[in-house]
Amino acid sequence: MDKKLLKEFLDEKVVQYNNPQFIESDPIQIPHRFSRKEDIEISGFLVATIAWGQRKTIINNGLKLMDLMGDSPYDFVMQFSEKDEERLSGFVHRTFNSIDLTYFMYALQHIYQNHSGMEIIFSTHAKNDSLQLAIHHFKKVFFELPHPKRTQKHVSDPLKNSAAKRINMFLRWMVRNDQAGVDFGIWNSLAPSQLSCPLDVHSGNVARKLKLLKRKQNDGKALSELDTALRSLDNVDPVKYDFALFGLGVFEGF
């Protein structure tokens, strides 16, 4: 398939999947329960953090998380203290457990109290064509407080060759604003052109079949390769193709 035909094919798939029907079966449905910016950010970040494994389980555990937080994530984070730790006891999603979740509450509280929120950390360290360095700096800020060593693995670092799929997905949710009704576009200090595709087994396999990606591992080097390919198709909004790659893989078995 030549580049022109490939772009036409993928653009059609973007239209097919980038619409409100996509929300019904995707973890993004959970931040869509909220309207306040901080509630969307925090619920989105937490749900993206546990977004690996079966989608139904991710959604169910995301809903459980919101219930534990009284369906008011920002207020819960800002008021969180030692007396609230027991409330989180027993939460588990694969290797992410209540020990990790408890630290996440304190880390998010620290970020909103002392760093003016998540958006400003990412925008301060953003490059014109990438947010991967910004993710690295976000992780440094996130773990400024004393923390269990085990919890570090739940925030990826692109400078250690991670594809950082979950944070890149979270950033897509926050930054893209194409009026399609799926992504939120509430972070105006960043542009869609700076985003990277959330690279996972589905999008990676489809990208290889379409000759957008040669590298076999889904790591940071593969993400860079895929970034270049997607930017050659649309350098203003390259990550819209996440809908096409993911949809082809998950819903069509491409």
List the chain pLDDT tens, one digit each, 254 residues.
789 999 999 999 999 999 999 999 999 999 999 999 999 999 999 999 999 999 999 999 999 999 999 999 999 999 999 999 999 999 999 999 999 999 999 999 999 999 999 999 999 999 999 999 999 999 999 999 999 999 999 999 999 999 999 999 999 999 999 999 999 999 999 999 999 999 999 999 999 999 999 999 999 999 999 999 999 999 999 999 999 999 999 999 88
Strands (E), 12-124: 92-93, 96-97
Q: Residues 125, 194: contact at Cβ < 8 Å?
A: no
Print the domain residue range for 159: 3-250
Number of domains in the chain: 1
Q: Residues 112, 77: contact at Cβ < 8 Å?
A: yes
Task: Please report, to the nearest 10 degrees, the dihedral formed by the alpha carbons of residues 125, 126, 132, 133 taken in order.
Answer: -30
Q: Cα(249)–Cα(244) distance, rounded to whole angstroms?
A: 8
Strands (E), 38-99: 92-93, 96-97
